[in-house]
Copies of this chain bind each other. A is one copy, B any other.
Amino acid sequence: MAMPVGIDDVARAAGVSTATVSRALRGLPDVRESTRKRVEEAAVRLGYAPTPSAVSLASGRTRTIGLLTPWVSRWFHSNAIEGACQALRLAGFDALLYSFQLEHDATRTPIDLDVLRRRVDGVLVVGMTMTASEVALLESLGVPLVYVGSGPPEQVRVHVDDVATARLATQHLLDLGHTRIGHIGGYPEQRTPWATEVCRARGYRDAMRAAGLPDDPDLLAYGRFERDGGRRAAVELLERVGDLTAIVADSDEMAFGALEVLRERGVTVPGRVSVVGVDGHELGDLIGLTTVAQDAVALGGAAAGLMLEMITGAPVDRDVVFPVELVRRASTRRH
């Protein structure tokens, strides 16, 4: 194991001062081209690489972005993280992963954001509905923030139009002649108005109203944004609504849960009930789930891009909205 080579070693080898090495290697001006060449040559020859912590301490920058996420193994999150990671690496930035297992949304333990302090140059909030106080806490870190998936309107965010997305899903069902359409979504209580849960619920309601259908609370069921949440909500819905002919689930994973319940109860899909989800989960294809797809990887990548621009001080779009696409598959049909 070769012993560590520092910036002074390079300086000595190149016959210049450490300051010049620093400038030369970082491409700063005020360095003669011939000198820079010589320094770079020496650096390569010695296999020099700056010590990150020393750079951070001296410069105040970490070249690291924090990824704040409630889960890493869920579809949206893992894909968005993947996209962000790639983009960050390309720019020479590192990704610090902070996954907070958020239990019950109500009694959720306060996130210890202090672990981020002075650790990152910016943070990407991935698919996480934060409370107002959490947002304030985040802002107190004093670094750029980008919200992926959903975020406060006044913040920089990269997302799809959740209202339109749910409306599209619902409209698809309406177009097929359904009217008794149940909605399976995330718990809207204690949510800020911009939460995905809230927006998608609104999209559903908007579509129903626009079709002249009355608001019917029986058609609404909630659960956590995952398969099991979808299961519970579906059970509720089936027990409450006898003439249900369709379900729009706010995520594919919830839809999968609903499909399970339907199958267990012998309710054929799309024979008796049509189901549409939201996300564009890879396995939706195999399962034959009609869905409104979004490109989570691209969202993550775009968010990372924005973040990098913000760090360099460039002005950025405060609100980047990605398109969604209805993917018709076997789980929906005319009523």
Query: B-contacting residues of A (Cβ < 8 Å)?
Result: 1, 4, 49, 51-57, 62, 64, 67, 71-73, 75, 78-79, 81-82, 85-86, 89, 94-99, 101, 114-115, 117-119, 140, 142, 227, 256, 259-260, 282-283, 285-287, 297
With contact pairs A49-B117, A52-B118, A286-B256 given, residues A94 and B96 touching in the complex (Cβ less than 8 Å): yes
Measured between beta carbons, the chain B residues less than 8 angstroms from A285 are 260
Quick check: B96 and A96 within 8 Å, CB to CB? Answer: yes
A184 nearest CB across to chain B (Å):
15
A2 nearest CB across to chain B (Å):
8
With contact pairs A57-B53, A117-B49, A285-B260 given, residues A99 and B78 touching in the complex (Cβ less than 8 Å): no
Count chain B CB atoms within 10 A of each CB in A97, A256, A287 and give the residue with the most: A97
- 23 residue pairs A–B, Cβ–Cβ below 8 Å: A1-B142, A4-B118, A52-B53, A52-B118, A52-B119, A53-B57, A53-B62, A56-B56, A57-B57, A64-B96, A72-B81, A72-B82, A73-B297, A86-B99, A95-B97, A95-B98, A96-B96, A96-B97, A227-B286, A259-B286, A260-B285, A283-B283, A286-B287
With contact pairs A72-B72, A260-B285, A286-B256 given, residues A82 and B53 touching in the complex (Cβ less than 8 Å): no
B89, B118, B260: the one within 8 Å of A98 (CB): B89
Beyond A52-B118, A86-B101, A256-B283, 13 additional contacts (C-beta under 8 Å) are A49-B118, A53-B57, A53-B118, A57-B57, A71-B82, A72-B78, A72-B82, A73-B81, A89-B98, A89-B115, A94-B119, A96-B96, A256-B286
A95 nearest CB across to chain B (Å):
5
Measured between beta carbons, the chain B residues less than 8 angstroms from A286 are 227, 256, 259-260, 287
Complex alpha-carbon distance, A217 and B102, angstroms: 49
A108 nearest CB across to chain B (Å):
15
Measured between beta carbons, the chain B residues less than 8 angstroms from A72 are 72, 78, 81-82, 85
A309 nearest CB across to chain B (Å):
21
A179 nearest CB across to chain B (Å):
28
Measured between beta carbons, the chain B residues less than 8 angstroms from A94 are 96-98, 115, 119
A126 nearest CB across to chain B (Å):
11
Complex alpha-carbon distance, A81 and B97, angstroms: 10
Measured between beta carbons, the chain B residues less than 8 angstroms from A142 are 1
Quick check: B140 and A1 within 8 Å, CB to CB? Answer: yes
Chain B residue at minimum C-beta to C-beta distance from A95: B97
A152 nearest CB across to chain B (Å):
18
List the 4 closest pairs (A to B, CB-CB), nearest first: A53-B56, A73-B78, A78-B78, A53-B53
Complex alpha-carbon distance, A1 and B142, angstroms: 8
Quick check: B52 and A54 within 8 Å, CB to CB? Answer: no
A201 nearest CB across to chain B (Å):
25
Complex alpha-carbon distance, A54 and B117, angstroms: 13
Complex alpha-carbon distance, A57 and B73, angstroms: 33
Complex alpha-carbon distance, A192 and B18, angstroms: 44
A142 nearest CB across to chain B (Å):
6
Count chain B CB atoms within 10 A of each CB in A67, A75, A98, A282 and give the residue with the most: A282
Quick check: A67 and B97 within 8 Å, CB to CB? Answer: yes
Complex alpha-carbon distance, A310 and B259, angstroms: 45
